[in-house]
Structure 1
Amino acid sequence: MKPAKTISIIELLSEYSTEHKAVKWLEKIRWNKKPICPHCGGVENVSKQRSKKHTYWHKDCRKQFTVKTNTIMHASKIPTQKWVVAIYYILTARKGISSLQLSKELGITQKSAWYMLQRIREACKQGSFKLSNVVEVDETYIGGKEKNKHANKKLNGGRGAVGKTAVFGMKERGGKVKAMVTRHTNKSTLQGNIHNNIQAKSTVYTDNFRGYLGLSGFTHKTVNHSAKEFVNGMAHTNGIESVWAVLKRGYNGTFHNISTKHLNRYR
């Protein structure tokens, strides 16, 4: 199966050079050929509004709508053309794009760009599902180093993970990734997340962190990082660690700071 071809930003802007082209593209994606009323699901007795561009009227439920109704673009005054470009950036920027940078690219306020980014990220959620087969599991910590903080912000509680936010992640080999902010990295929390998100009897690879000891219901194999062991046969966590590498490059190079409150939005 060949990977999907990513078009360039020049090709994108040429393809959707006007608001009309952008709306028509969205209508084709959402409805194919025939508009469907998002209020009642009806397809009959739908007509175009003459007084309003790209607006439809459904005679049966007596409501008007556009292709953006009940979507992440609902009631937004930002042109569809700019939404298309924003979606392109968030899907192609490997390390992410900040709201400040997006605001400059689109010619809108930083507040509007932040709103768009959070809406698009919300739409990218894939719902509830469980990973299976071979799954790599690991945890990481996001946040600034204690030594780089102002004196009044230092916790003076030690090194390493002090003052950082824990993120727990699972990567199915050749498949999807699930990650979540977690308040604790103890045995009950980590193993509870594994049971909730990975199908029973799957093969789970972890490091030798004590929180994974005694994991039952799975074929569990570990690598001993503390002894400089990074691969043990087929057992390794290189895949999920690559996910953390991309996350941290985005944190350090693009976003610079992500609050614990909003960190889950950057999955």
Structure 2
Amino acid sequence: MLDTQEECIALLEKLRWDGQPRCPYCDSIRAAPFKLEQRYHCNDCFTSYSVTVNTLFHRTRVDLAKWFQAIHLLLNEVRKVSARQLAQEINVNKNTASYMKVRIRQAKKTEDLLLNELSKHLKATYIKLNNLV
């Protein structure tokens, strides 16, 4: 799967923006990247933003790799996954896992396209990894 925060951000940028950062506040494509952070500065409305703004990952402290694992487990499993099982699987506490489940469930209603694309990509990656083992 995706192991580092940078790999996860790169995948989100590809799926959400197709390589062209777009300001979530004014919809401008005129942006400059910050060198040391995975953020951008809009040259039209002068705000800074990241790829996670207006997504289920916005303002989270949990690594994106753990979010991606949770999405893969919750959307591709045949049987239901409890918060306790999810917590053990992705190595977070039960309350965090429960919060993640709620956010993912809400995102299925509002961010269906991004979540579906991400789920497809994660499923394909997981299948490739299983074939290598």
**TM-score, normalising length: structure 1:** 0.40
Matches within 5 A, 1:124-135: 124-125=108-109
C-alpha distance in 2, partners of 1:95/1:102? 12
Deviations 1:168-191 (A, max 9, x none): xxxxxxxxxxxxxxxxxxxxxxxx
SS in 2 for 1:97: coil
Residue number in structure 2 paired with 1:48: 33
Matches within 5 A, 1:199-210: none
Residue number in structure 2 paired with 1:38: 24
Percent same amino acid at aligned positions? 31
C-alpha distance in 2, partners of 1:39/1:109? 33
Deviation at 1:59, TM superposition (A): 2.0
Query: Which AA in structure 1 matches 2:15?
Result: I
Correspondence for 2:6 among 11, 20, 41:
20
Larger radius of gyration: 1
Correspondence for 1:97 among 55, 77, 81:
81
C-alpha distance in 1, partners of 2:68/2:52? 12
C-alpha distance in 1, partners of 2:91/2:107? 23
**Structure ranking higher in helix proportion:** 2
Deviation at 1:108, TM superposition (A): 1.1
Query: Which AA in structure 2 matches 1:101?
Result: Q
**Structure ranking higher in strand proportion:** 1
C-alpha distance in 1, partners of 2:13/2:57? 13
Deviation at 1:33, TM superposition (A): 1.2
Query: Which AA in structure 1 matches 2:62?
Result: I
C-alpha distance in 2, partners of 1:61/1:75? 21
Structure 1 spans left out of the alignment, 5+ residues: 1-12, 128-267
Runs of 4+ in 1 over 3 A off after TM superposition: none
SS in 2 for 1:124: helix
Deviations 1:13-64 (A, max 9, x none): 2xx12221111111111000100111111111x011124x211111211111
Structure 2 spans left out of the alignment, 5+ residues: 112-133
Deviation at 1:126, TM superposition (A): 6.6
Q: How many equivalent pairs are there?
A: 111
Deviations 1:116-167 (A, max 9, x none): 111111111279xxxxxxxxxxxxxxxxxxxxxxxxxxxxxxxxxxxxxxxx
CA 57–126 in structure 1, closer or farther in 2 if over 3 Å, else same = closer
CA 94–126 in structure 1, closer or farther in 2 if over 3 Å, else same = farther
C-alpha distance in 2, partners of 1:125/1:58? 29
**TM-score, normalising length: structure 2:** 0.78
